[in-house]
Amino acid sequence: MIDYVREKYGHDQVGQICTFGTLAARAAVKDVGKALGLPFSEMNTFSKMIPARPGITIADAIKENNDLQKIIQESPLHEKLISNAQKLEGTVRQLGVHACAVIIAPSPITDFCPLQHPPKDDQGIVTQFSAYPLDSMGLLKMDFLGLRNLTIIDRALRIIENNHGIRINIDKLNMEDQKVFDIFTQ
């Protein structure tokens, strides 16, 4: 799909969207531990005291885990580690590329935002802005994976059939319907 839209709309007008990987609580603790020279086994044991669930913060982990609180209170080194890790927590760690989303611009994308090659790919282009700023610029964002969208389309087709007795074959839609294009341009 990505190759198709690049060919259809132009390689300079279609680009993949960057994502920013951020430092989660455990990763921040491990990175600071390395910088402070903690032995790997100690740093690993300490970081595992932070629950491995999405969205957990260091502050939440400290509130939940009395053993973690105790180690931090009793060890100036661990207190320093946690203090510095909290400063890094949530900061951008690396650039990634959205799996299946592209931005389609009415003119070269460089008119709207800076670009770069994605990691390990000197042919493709990726925006240096993430999806939300690009959306707010009025650019068309298409997510070809869009599993949620496929579910919505399936539900809409069933509702139309149940309420109106019309069965729509999604594979036989007119891809050149001017009324549809008019709705999108509005």
Tally the domains of the chain. 3
Give one word for 168, left, alpha or beta, with left for phi > 0 and alpha for psi -120 to 50. Answer: beta
Same domain for 43 and 59, yes or no, is yes
Same domain for 28 and 66, yes or no, is yes
Number of alpha helices (DSSP H) and beta strands (DSSP E) in the chain: 9, 5
Could you tell me if 146 and 100 are in contact, meaning their C-beta atoms sit under 8 angstroms apart? yes
pLDDT at 174: 85
pLDDT at 56: 93
Same domain for 40 and 75, yes or no, is yes
Q: Of 88, 104, 128, which residue sits at a domain end?
A: 88
Per-residue pLDDT of the chain (186 residues; tens, 9 = 90+): 888 898 999 989 999 999 888 999 999 999 999 999 999 888 888 889 999 888 899 999 999 999 999 999 999 999 999 999 999 999 998 888 888 889 999 999 999 999 998 888 887 789 999 888 988 888 898 888 767 778 888 999 999 999 999 999 988 888 889 998 898 888
pLDDT at 171: 85
The CA distance from 53 to 163, in Å, is: 42
* Spatial CB neighbours of 122, under 8 Å, sequence gap ≥ 6: none
Could you tell me if 64 and 86 are in contact, meaning their C-beta atoms sit under 8 angstroms apart? no
Residue 128: phi, psi to the nearest 5?
-100, 5
The CA distance from 173 to 39, in Å, is: 62
Same domain for 152 and 128, yes or no, is no
pTM of the model: 0.60
- Domain with 180, as residue range(s), is 147-185
Could you tell me if 29 and 47 are in contact, meaning their C-beta atoms sit under 8 angstroms apart? yes
Q: Which helix (H) or strand (E) holds 14?
A: strand 14-22
Same domain for 131 and 41, yes or no, is no
pLDDT digits over 56-91, tens only? 999 999 999 999 999 999 999 999 999 999 999 999
